[in-house]
Amino acid sequence: MNILAVQYIRPMEQGWSLPHLFKCEDGQTYVVKFINNQSGSGILANELIAYRLGNLLGLPIAPYRIIQITRDLVDMFPVLKSLDIPAGLHLGSLYFEQGTTSFEEVNLALCKNLYHAAGMIVFDHWINNWDRHIAESNLLYLPDQRKILMIDHSDAFFGPDWDKEECMDDVNRMDIFWGPLYEMFVPYIDSPDPFGHYVSLVERVSEKAVIEAVKGLPRQWKISREDVTGLIDFLLCRRKLVRGALEEVRDNFPIWTQEDHD
């Protein structure tokens, strides 16, 4: 369901896509990425689809909503006019004012939902999201709730410009991601088979659920039906690749028992 933006607040001053804050009709504030951001409307589709897929796995992910910005609102704010923001449907994530991406200041031992970290690694592999393991900026820590929360799936799948051909090229192979952000989780992921639960969830995601996750993209985002079909096939085929790929990531967790490796 779309939500109407009722008030412009300010630019976020962070992020390649130059998002801005808006107050919306539900009384909440959203970090809004515009259709005419420099990477194109594909990132809006990626964010929305990844949000829905993340929900399927029960992972903590900021709520994303399609945000309607009217011509009247754009006309009221010179900054929006100067950016040539089209009236219509953009995409916002619920703004967590206290959220921080500076993990060096965070004591992760106090975090209450780190058990989801293994699921995030599984999820990033499934959706081909290379942009979290290297950058801490795509995970928020909420100090008031003591929880981690995923944001920014703009570069998932094949980045903003994916198409059917690209999706079909990659249905049988999965890149392995490992980097500083995942490294940070290592001391806290210590059950014998932390990936197992999430890998099984991915494997059991139904075709119907994937179709639901990719449907209803606003026409204004100009994603063709054919490309959406390609993305559905890509996601369905990769369900069975995750287990093997995660075996390679496992080696980075020395505290897991050797027996479970067999």
Ligand X SMILES: Nc1ncnc2c1ncn2[C@@H]1O[C@H](COP(=O)(O)OP(=O)(O)OP(=O)(O)O)[C@@H](O)[C@H]1O
Find tokens 């996750």 and name the residue.
213
Which residues in the 80-109 window bind ligand X by CB under 6 A?
Answer: 93-96, 99, 101
- State the binding partner of 93 from Mg ion, ligand X, none, CB within 5 to 8 A by kind: ligand X
- State the binding partner of 136 from Mg ion, ligand X, none, CB within 5 to 8 A by kind: none
> What is the nearest approach in angstroms of ligand X to the Cβ of residue 220?
19
Residue 137 interacting with Mg ion (CB under 5 A): yes
> What is the nearest approach in angstroms of ligand X to the Cβ of residue 13?
9
* Residues 125, 193, 120, 1, CA torsion sign: positive
Q: What are the phi and psi torsion angles at 158 (to 5°)?
A: -130, 35
The amino acid that residue 139 corresponds to is L
Residue 28 interacting with Mg ion (CB under 5 A): no
Binding to ligand X by CB under 6 A, coded x per residue (else -) over 127-146, reads: ----------xx-x------
> What is the nearest approach in angstroms of ligand X to the Cβ of residue 94?
6
Helix axes 117-126, 194-204, angle to 10 degrees: 40
Cα–Cα distance for residue pair 45/228, rounded to 1 Å: 10
CB atoms within 10 A of CB 101: 16
From residue 229, how far is each of 3, 210, 215 by CA, in Å? 27, 11, 10
Q: List the one residue out of 206, 205, 225, 201 whose CA is nearest residue 215.
A: 225
Cα–Cα distance for residue pair 28/67, rounded to 1 Å: 12
- State the binding partner of 124 from ligand X, Mg ion, none, CB within 5 to 8 A by kind: none
Which residues in the 25-84 window bind ligand X by CB under 6 A?
Answer: 31, 62
Q: Which residue is nearest to ligand X (CB)?
A: 15
- Taking CB under 6 A as the criterion, the residue among 3, 12, 205, 232 binding ligand X is 12
Q: Which residue is nearest to Mg ion (CB)?
A: 152
Q: Name the site residues for ligand X (rule: CB under 6 A).
A: 12, 14-17, 19, 31, 62, 93-96, 99, 101, 137-138, 140, 151-152, 154
Residues at the interface with Mg ion (CB under 5 A) = 137-138, 152
